[in-house]
Structures are given as structure tokens and as C-alpha cells.
Chain A
């Protein structure tokens, strides 16, 4: 097996422990769970986007010989479970009782002996709908006279959910009024979907005698889900056990609690047997947490010499039929006010209006760091728009305006305190790796031959690792995470963590963190996660928070063990703890390195009859809760090179250079893999991924035939580089990285395509830049503006 422990410590490109089971097909994903007597559930969904429910007749389905229960909204209403709270202090229908509000909404739930019969029985339920006018456009949703989607809410007479703003409006207006140059753009970040390859699902097993609920569920946040199920289902929390098995990708999609989970729980209560429910792909795309869907008006102000002074933005945020957005409660637009980006600005202001529409609920999902994706896209598109206006080189313009290393910690005009960075060094590294000047020369030469290549840049700063408890909570749960560490007598360790891997390799990385602190091999650390009965409380994995929060907890708890080991070692070595120093993974007597003890020897001693000082109880086990003092601020510089065929609008991404700074890299192999993933997201969002709707509210992206995901062919061989600026407040100097590339890459791809098409006068194309959209942009702009 692998050995990850070297003279340089436990950090490094250690092969993953997880792989052994996955390469043999021995992972345990949700649909692999088989319990004795298990039944299968299926959801009947609304074909209409907006309609009043006149009646639901389930009698024929109930008569199906293999059906064991049919649950309707009325069944749930009788138990007070027809509605559930969302993560944004709204409510969402579990099964519709009054109206359906989006296509694909849950209307009834069948429990049957097998999955085929469950599906068959759905066709036996007849629902009479009275169609209502649907609203899928957020602008129309706000217009006077628009149908009120949420008439279930008392006193609600419009579709406006919230108005929120950040920054100093008056100061920003002053800066804009005095600026030499102001450039404006309308930008759409279209609705997208995380589409993990494994869909969402669960197996609910309710014991009618003991009142215990065991729920295997595709959850990125098992502990938060336990509390939510207690609140929603009215079950005592100590009788709920959530088990999140191997998760086939999450990306934010597996943060919310979905109606199907609750239906499976109720189904298990009614049938007295375990119930499995796993959604199909269309259900996943049409009803679970989407992302983005921001319509933005953005302005950038600068001097004629290219000094960027301010940013101003307003956005319409389409949240769908229920406000199910998952983010810290005090930030209804997430961290969109990160829109000042990586630049030293005088002022910025943004205002966001949240809107209900007849579309699926959600809003923050998909590796977006709570809407920093939208913010970075806006900023980096606007810097390029300014470059066009000024006739400036986009790389030089960025270099001219980046926050300088000496300015950290840097407080932005919208209130963030960036912890660390050396932005110019990172940008320069990316430009050098790309061969930027050569690329510009090649571009000029190709244009002479009628070939159109573009070079697109993006520089992003993220805020990840939510977050300080006093500022950040979800449904009142502060965003701190626990860790516990048991060290067995032979020195082998078991770390319990609150976060949940969906592929990030926690079993390896977290073992490395502990191993590094204790001077043992990562092979000697078992990481336990995903089972609320076996792990400490914490808020889970999303928003790139595993390493910044839970990783910190792991380091801190390991240091607690190490401190305790020091006392035991002192007793072993007959020295005072103060005389010991930690060196090369051992406690040794200062000035007498022959007298030393490693963790394994100390652990055995800690469990032995060795006499310990007064008040020391023995053993080495420890636990902690980590409340982050600030977020961490990873950043990066990306360069995309794309070729565009203006005759067809087809785009080929030829190269992508990504230089990331995420502080200390615990396992650089895993970090690189995470970045690769996000870069593919950038290709996908920029070129093909979109959930669109027609006027009737029909979802046009309800399968992988129409919701297109990038394949190996669209993705180039990624070219990665790195700089390392440790986070000053994180115990091991690490910053989150899981979402960096998703956040940073879309703008680079879009900027590259627009750069390619500059000879046609193209100044903006909205995502996704499908062949049609690119060709339309060329065609629309080419009249009179073609300078090639």
C-alpha cells in the first residue's frame, strides 16, 4: 500500500485511500444500499408550471397489487408535513396541496414492492389541474399585475422576495460622476445545474417500536440534515441517525433537504418497512437545486489612464417558486458583494432583488462559493469591457489595478477583509506560462489569414470557509465544525469529522493533516465521516469550507493530542514538559535528543500504568470545535486560448492556463484534481450548460440530451501553475480550493471568445456561447463594424 510519510512530513501527492474501493466497483452509493424488506418510492410530478390542483385521485394506484402506500399532499397535511422550511427562511411544499408552482413539482408519492411497479403506479394517479398563467421571466414577474406565485404566504401581493444591497451608494455615485470613463453592460449568468453524476436519493428506515429513524441520504451536510429532519418531521434529534455513504458528486446539489426524502421517511412510517427513493436524471435537473440565474446591469468607472475607480451593479435574482437558496442567513444574495474582485477600488455598490418565478427552487448551488461566481464573472467581464473602451491590453489593465502585496490585510469597500495575497506575482506567472506576448503575436498573424483566435483572462479572489459564527449561520446553526481524534494504544488514530466528501478525498487529506501534526504516517490515520452517530457536529461540505474550517479543526485537535502527549512524554522521559521540544515528529528533551518518544510509544504509555502528573487523566483522545476567525481568500489568474469559426459560431478551447494560490497545499495531487474539475465547469457554463424554459414554463434542459455537459473532447489538457501565500489565520496556512476554478474560469472563456471576435465588433455574448449565440453575435455586430 501507499506510504505517504516522508522526511518532509505527511503533506504531498499521497495516493488516495478511497481509490482502492472505487477502482474495484466496491463503493457504496445510495442506490447500492439494500435493506431487508426494502420498498421503493417514486414521485408523481406536475407537468404544468403553474396550476391549481382541483383533485388528486390515487385510488387506482392504491389498488395496484404491488403498491404498499400512496402519499398525497392531503396525507401529509393531516400530519402537518405538507410544507417544510427551506434554508432561506421560506417554506416549500413537500407535496402540493393548493397549487403547483413549477414543472416537476412533487404532487404524490408511491411506495411499492419494486421500482418498476412504483413507476407503473404513477400512471394510475389522476390529477385534475386548473392551469394558471405561468411566469418564468423575473422581469415580468415583478411587473404590475403579474400572477402572484406565492399566494400561500400571508399578505403576499407580489413576486418580490427581497431587496438587498451592499457598499456605499452615495460614495459610489460620486466616484462615477467624477470618472473620466464609465462603461456599462447587461450581463446574464444563466440558470445552470450542478448535475452530479449520481442523482439525489435516500433510504429511510423508521423503527415504529423504538421511534428511531435511520436515513441513508445523499447529503453534503449530514449533521445539519439531522437537525433539519428533527425540525421538519418533528422527530427527536437523538433518535435520528443520518448516514451519508459514498456520494457521487455534490457540487452544492446535495445540500438541501428535498421533498422526496421526507416522503420516503413518511412512507417508511406508514409501511413499516425501509423505503428507497432515488430520483431519475430528469427529476434531478427539473426539481433540485439549480444555480446562478442572475440578470445583472453592471457599470465600471475609471480614469482615462486606466485606473479603475469603482463598480456599480444591480441584479435580478431568480429564485424560482420557493426561496430555497442555501447560504449564510444574513446574506440573501450570498457573497455577491465580493464584486470588487481583486482590485483596489475607491467605491462599489450593488443591489439585488430576489424574485419568485414558476421555476424550480434553489439558487445557491454548484461550486459557486455563495455567488462569488456571479460576482467574479461580472467583474472580470467589466474589466475586459473597460479594456475595449480604453484600447488597453486586458493583462496590463489588470496588472495596473491589482491590490498590492503590501496592502494586506486589505479591507474592501464592501466590507471584506482579504487575509493575504501577492496578486501581481500570480498574474505574471500565468502570463509567463501562457506565453502571453507570443499569443498576441500569433493572434495578429492568424487574423491576417482569416483565422480567429482569442485570449481571455480572468483574475479572481474568493472568500471561502464560512464562517465566523457571529456573522454566519444557516437556519440558526452557526457555521463552526467539530473534530474528534482518538489515538489507540498502538498509536493508530481515528479522526471523526463533520464534513462529508463527495469526491474531494477527505479520507486522504485529513489523514495527512493529522499525520503531519503527530509525526505518523497517513496510513495510520482512519478518517470517519458521513455518519452522525460516529462523528461530531458540524455544518458540512460546501462553499469550499472543508479545509478552511474542518481541516483547521483537524489540525487543532491533533495539536491538542500532541500537547497532551507532551505531558505523558515528560513523565516517560522523566523531564519537565517545558523541557521538551517537538522535532522530527517526536517529543525530545531539549539539548538531549537521544531522550525522545514518538506518538506510538507515548500512546501506549498514556494507556499504561505509568504514573502521570496530578490532574492528567491518561489516554490521548481529544476533541475540538473550530470557529473560523475569518474566511480564507484563495485567488488565481487564468488564461484561456480559444479558436472561433465565425462561419458557424463553433468555439474550440485550445489551451487553458490556471495559476492558483490556495495557500499551503496539503495534497497537491488532489488540489490539482479539484482545479481541473472547476475548469471543466468553466467550459461547460461558458459554452453549453443552461437550464432554459419556454413561456409555458416547460424546462428545456430536462435530460442530458439537452442539458449538455462538457466531455473529454471539449476540455483541453489543463496547464496548471501555482503560487503559495499561506493564510495567516488558518492553523496550517491553507485556503479552500474546491470551487476556485468554477468561480474563476467562465469569464476567461467568455473573454477569449469575445477577444477572438473583436474584428467583427463583438463586445459581449451571453453564456452559453453555443454556436448559434456566437454566430448571432457576429452577425448582429458585423454590419458596419467589421474591421478585419
Chain B
């Protein structure tokens, strides 16, 4: 069996303590949350941190609440916790759509939202979801907190704006009425990383789209976002034709790469197809009575 290289280990008693440990341990320290991304990398010895700072005991980071017009998700919230939170799913069905298809039920019990986001794997589902929702990331550092829009959080594959010595503590999503959202993913099998996926959030003013967010996973979209497609939709009526066009625009503006999950051509197609499907489902959820179009495979 593959085993990690030798490593030091510290347990954090509080966020302050964790920050202190990070500062003392130097740049080769890593935060250990669920570990379901980090430990496999350590077993392959692709990651060889000098010190692990275990934050699993920090109950202050394991929360999930609606405060005023904001959904606040603590970074140590487990995937299963988010999936079980009825309120989160009510406001943002896209969260539950995504959580249902992330890894498997056992991994979801232990893997954390913050850990997934900080891993910043280009195929990681929540990055696109929070990008679509235009969430805000809360980052603690020794001097206080700073907030970063989700769309500026990811700086590249496996890279985020979280600097050495900092910790992602929370994700905030603004709650606005009149919206709907959906996440659509194609994998080769249940539990697989996506071949491609798209998340869409939609807010309507009458028939007109007043706001939208479209996130794309694993298809080489900058910052996980289909910005041009969002731009196209804003102010336009929520029609099947416009959703189709938005999908095409999303596809034209991403840069997928071929791998064993599929060729670039197919992933580009998925960017289009799944964007359209996600918009369609988001619309249905935003205004259930409006959804008169015929059902198609993949709706749901």
C-alpha cells in the first residue's frame, strides 16, 4: 500500500492557534481538514509537507447558517452537512445538485467544503458552483480577515489566493429572491470527477433575466466562469433560444484539454449542452409555473 513520507503533526485548538502554528511551521506546512485530497497526494508523494496542522477539532469553522440575507458556510462543513441542510438547498438547489454528485456518500461524510475549494482542482465541482453563485470567500490571516470574491479566489490549477499563513474560514452567498439554480454534470461513472459540468444561477424580473451566474467545471473556463455567456443573457428574456445561444457562447470561450475522460471537442460540446440544460433547470426552479417547454433527456 502507498504510504506518506514522514511528516510533523500539530492539532490546532482554535483558528488563532492554527494561524500561529502556520506562522511557526513555515511555508511547507499544510492545513489538514478532511484530508481526502491531501492524503492521497501525500501517499503518492506528490505532496510532501513538512507539517500538517489538523483543524478537524475547530467546531468554530463547522457551521452552516442563514444570517439575514446571507448563507454562511464554515470551511470545515462536511459535504454531507451541506447536502443535509434543507435551508441551503431551498435557497440554492445548485448546492445540493453538486453535492449529490461529489465523490461518494462516505467521502462526503469526511471531506470538507473548504478543503475542496483550497485544493482548487480544475475538476472540482464546488469551484464552479460558488463562482456561479458569486459567493464571497472569507480568509483569516494573523492581522484579521479579508474577503475575496469566489471568482477571484482561484488563480490557476491547484492555486488560490490563500497565502501561506492564511486560512479559508468561510464562504458567504447572498440570498436574493426570484432566483433559481442548477448544476449539471457528466461523469464516466457515479463518483467520478466530471468530464464536464456546468452550474447556472438565474434571477428574473418578469420574463427578463436580471442576473445570472454560470460556472463551468473541467472545461478550461477562466476562473471557472462563463463570463461572456452571462453577459449575453443579462437583460434578455429567459427563452430556450437564448439559453441555447448562451451555451454556445460558453463553449466558444473555454479552453478544454483532451485527456482520458474525453477529447477537447467533446468537452467543449458539454460546456454548451450542460450550460443550456442548467439554465433550463434553473429557470424551472425560479418560476415553476413558467416551465412549459417539453421535457428533454437530462432535465432534472
Contact = CB atoms under 8 A, between A and B. Distances in A.
Are the chains A and B members of one assembly?
A: yes
Interface of A: 115-116, 119-120, 123, 278, 280-282, 450-452, 645-650, 687-688, 692, 700-701, 705-706, 708, 710-711, 713-714, 770-772, 775-776, 779
B32 interface: no
B260 A692 contact: yes
B189 interface: yes
A505 B200 CA distance: 51
B298 A705 contact: no
- Residue from A645, A648, A688, A713 having most chain B Cβ neighbours under 10 A: A648
A650 B186 CA distance: 7
Q: Which 6 A/B pairs are nearest by Cβ-Cβ distance?
A: A772-B262, A713-B190, A645-B297, A772-B266, A700-B260, A648-B186
A776 B261 CA distance: 13
A190 to B, nearest CB: 12
B186 A708 contact: no
A772 to B, nearest CB: 3
A775 B189 contact: no
Contacts of A281: 2
Q: How large is the interface on B (under 10, 10 to 19, 20 to 34, 35 or more residues)?
A: 20 to 34
Contacts of B24: none
B216 to A, nearest CB: 15
B189 A714 contact: yes
A280 B190 contact: no
23 contacts: A119-B3, A280-B1, A282-B2, A647-B277, A647-B296, A647-B298, A648-B186, A648-B273, A648-B274, A650-B186, A687-B189, A692-B260, A708-B188, A708-B189, A708-B192, A713-B189, A714-B189, A770-B195, A770-B261, A770-B262, A771-B188, A771-B195, A772-B263
A282 B44 CA distance: 10
A711 B1 contact: no
Nearest to B191: A711
A647 B195 contact: no
A119 B189 contact: no
Contacts of B6: 120
B270 A648 contact: yes
Contact of B263 (A123, A687, A711, A776): A776
Contacts of B277: 647
A773 to B, nearest CB: 8
B5 interface: yes
Nearest to B43: A280
Main secondary structure of the interface of B (DSSP, over half): loop
A450 B191 CA distance: 28
Contacts of B270: 648
A770 B188 contact: yes
Contact of A776 (B187, B266, B298): B266
Interface string B251-283: 000000000111101100110011001000000
Interface string B1-29: 11101100000000000000000000000
A116 B45 CA distance: 12
A771 B296 contact: no
Contact of B269 (A282, A687, A714, A775): A775
B203 interface: no
A282 B40 CA distance: 13
Nearest to A118: B3
Interface in B181-224: 186-193, 195
A647 B297 contact: yes
B188 A123 contact: no
- Residue from B3, B261, B263, B270 having most chain A Cβ neighbours under 10 A: B3
Contacts of B186: 648-650, 771
Contacts of B269: 775, 779
Contacts of B262: 770-772
Contacts of B3: 115-116, 119
Given A647-B297, A708-B188, 18 more contacts: A119-B2, A123-B45, A278-B1, A280-B1, A281-B2, A645-B297, A647-B296, A648-B186, A692-B260, A700-B260, A701-B260, A705-B193, A706-B260, A708-B189, A711-B191, A713-B189, A770-B188, A772-B266
Nearest to A770: B188
Contacts of B5: 120, 123
Contacts of A770: 188, 195, 261-262
Given A123-B45, A647-B298, A771-B195, A688 B273 contact: no
B189 A688 contact: yes
A772 B190 contact: no
Nearest to A713: B190
Contacts of B188: 687-688, 708, 770-771
B283 to A, nearest CB: 17
Given A282-B2, A648-B273, A775 B266 contact: yes
Interface string B160-196: 0000000000000000000000000011111111010
B83 to A, nearest CB: 16
Contacts of A645: 297-298
Contacts of B298: 645, 647-648, 650
A12 to B, nearest CB: 36
- Residue from B263, B269, B277 having most chain A Cβ neighbours under 10 A: B269
Nearest to B261: A772
Contacts of A706: 260
A647 B260 contact: no
Nearest to A451: B297
A714 B273 contact: no
A775 B263 CA distance: 11
Contacts of B261: 770, 772
B183 to A, nearest CB: 14
Contacts of B193: 705
A647 B273 contact: yes
- Residue from A280, A282, A708, A771 having most chain B Cβ neighbours under 10 A: A771
Nearest to A774: B266
A708 B45 CA distance: 22
Contact of A450 (B190, B195, B265, B296): B296
Contacts of B189: 687-688, 708, 710-711, 713-714
A645 B274 CA distance: 12
Contacts of A692: 260
A282 B297 CA distance: 37
B34 to A, nearest CB: 17
Contacts of A282: 2
A123 B5 CA distance: 10
B156 to A, nearest CB: 21
